[in-house]
Structure 1
């Protein structure tokens, strides 16, 4: 009897060992399958400002030129202009005077004119007007944009309102308030000059606060979420088939505030590819340091 009990005891011990080995082997197999199906994300290129190589204004072109000149964009057109907001120094440019389809960046023209009209509004209209400006820039509401254009008096009224900001009317062609029309055209200089001009106006806070904030709200809620960008970029996106644009302000903690306009037009190219390239450029701008 005792012998039978001992045999049973060792049998169950052996069986338990085999079960344990099987479970471990099964888990290892599942882990390998899961890894194959869901490979780990690629390492972020910029892990920290401290550990990344110095990107100085003087060598910024060495970082950004490979992006705009990549074979992926061989059939496309880039227009880029980046300036220091404080000094007006051009930090980077690539075809800054090229005329491209700006998509919803055209809303910047519409809202800049609308902001300047705020002091002329009766109190009852003020809240509605400010809400409309926020919807147009932050959420890229096309209907509100076209209504603002109409209430402002049309395209010519917009031109008249933004010309004193330093925006040359010959650098853009606006046909609607929203940017949906592919007949709209603008240069990077158009938006950089507009953004610089708006920064000096008493109503700048209204305009600045109406823009999407990187990684936080509006059309940028799920973009530019890197810790060095989140909350530091206030900008307007632009999206049409074969068109991606981004223009706005970047608060670089190691250099100072920048104003930028990045535009790319390439028929047939994935919008995700264009957006990723633009976001990579903005991240590089966030890593610029004073290297003097």
Structure 2
């Protein structure tokens, strides 16, 4: 059964009600049909990306690497491993592959993920600058920093606004279907296989999760450092993306609470998407 439709005010107030005033968290959502901002909460503050960074790496790989035939098939498989399964090794290898291509190298003398991250950053900046259409006065230098392909390191940061604007741009870019195919499907595949069922949104959201846990080596109690869910809400099962969104949290109460909040946000946005 499809989610019940929601009014614009119900959507805005519903999203904001999910966050405590003091929470280190943010959200941003765009209607891809009209370009309107549907919801926003502390949207310009950069947060730890964790595996959200893989969205940028996948997009850069698909648009940068000019491979065809069997090589293209292999690239799509690697993008799916980085996106749906959130494989850190594959994502960093994609960053290195981008670096090798730009440097004209067949085989690298040594891995250069940092250079790949610089090229990914240029790709993201170019895509977002061309697509915001006056919707958001993005401060790219203040809202985005990527230093590897996977998002494994804590210094990788982006604002919810930057992430959602990038997703909106990629939904209209050449190869959009290849990009969205790399994402997990809510309640069905990858890192979202067991999520969203309580919200009635199985099959209605394509997304990328992002999770950082505090390492024991830091001397702090083991716990959640950051959590995120970014992606698209579909017009219906197997339908087209009609909402691009990003929800990002730091120091949430627990892993379960973080996931529940993200799924509730996706549920509200799906109610708008199917209206």
Range into which the TM-score falls when normalised by the shorter chain: 0.7 to 0.9
Q: Which runs of 5+ in 2 are unaligned?
A: 100-115, 130-137, 214-224
Query: Following the alignment from structure 1 to structure 2, what is the Cα–Cα distance between the partners of residues 81 and 227?
Result: 19
The answer to which structure, 1 or 2, has the higher relative contact order (CA under 8 A, 6+ apart) is: 2
Write the deviation string for residues 243-281 of structure 1: whole angstroms up to 9, x where unpaired.
11011000145xx811100001016x3111111111112
Give the aligned partner of residue 156 of structure 1. Answer: 118
Query: Following the alignment from structure 1 to structure 2, what is the Cα–Cα distance between the partners of residues 64 and 131?
Result: 34
Give the aligned partner of residue 35 of structure 1. Answer: none
Query: Following the alignment from structure 2 to structure 1, what is the Cα–Cα distance between the partners of residues 125 and 19?
Result: 30
Write the deviation string for residues 157-184 of structure 1: whole angstroms up to 9, x where unpaired.
1122233311564221001111110011
User: How far off is 1:59 after superposition?
Assistant: 2.8
Does the C-alpha gap of structure 1 residues 290 and 231 become closer, same or farther in structure 2, counting only changes over 3 Å? closer
Give the aligned partner of residue 41 of structure 1. Answer: none
Matching residue within 213, 230, 244 for 1:247 = 230
Counterparts of residues 51-90 of structure 1 (less than 5 Å): 55-69=6-20, 74=22, 76-90=23-37
Q: Structure 2-normalised TM-score?
A: 0.79
Give the aligned partner of residue 201 of structure 1. Answer: 173
Give the aligned partner of residue 146 of structure 1. Answer: 92
Give the aligned partner of residue 33 of structure 1. Answer: none
Do 1:108 and 1:137's aligned partners in 2 also have CA atoms closer than 8 Å? yes
Do 2:84 and 2:184's aligned partners in 1 also have CA atoms closer than 8 Å? yes
Do 2:32 and 2:168's aligned partners in 1 also have CA atoms closer than 8 Å? yes
CA RMSD for the aligned pairs?
2.4
Residues matched between the structures, number: 236
Query: Following the alignment from structure 1 to structure 2, what is the Cα–Cα distance between the partners of residues 179 and 85?
Result: 26
Structure 2 residue matching 1:288: 3-state secondary structure? helix
Do 2:50 and 2:211's aligned partners in 1 also have CA atoms closer than 8 Å? yes
Do 1:252 and 1:287's aligned partners in 2 also have CA atoms closer than 8 Å? no
Q: Which runs of 5+ in 1 are unaligned?
A: 1-46
Does the C-alpha gap of structure 1 residues 261 and 227 become closer, same or farther in structure 2, counting only changes over 3 Å? closer
Query: Following the alignment from structure 2 to structure 1, what is the Cα–Cα distance between the partners of residues 97 and 57?
Result: 11
Q: Which has the larger radius of gyration?
A: 1
Write the deviation string for residues 171-227 of structure 1: whole angstroms up to 9, x where unpaired.
210011111100111001211111111111221111001100011100000001247
Greater share of residues in helix: 1
Query: Following the alignment from structure 1 to structure 2, what is the Cα–Cα distance between the partners of residues 289 and 172?
Result: 28
User: How far off is 1:122 after superposition?
Assistant: 4.8
**Does 1:265 pair with 2:250?**
yes
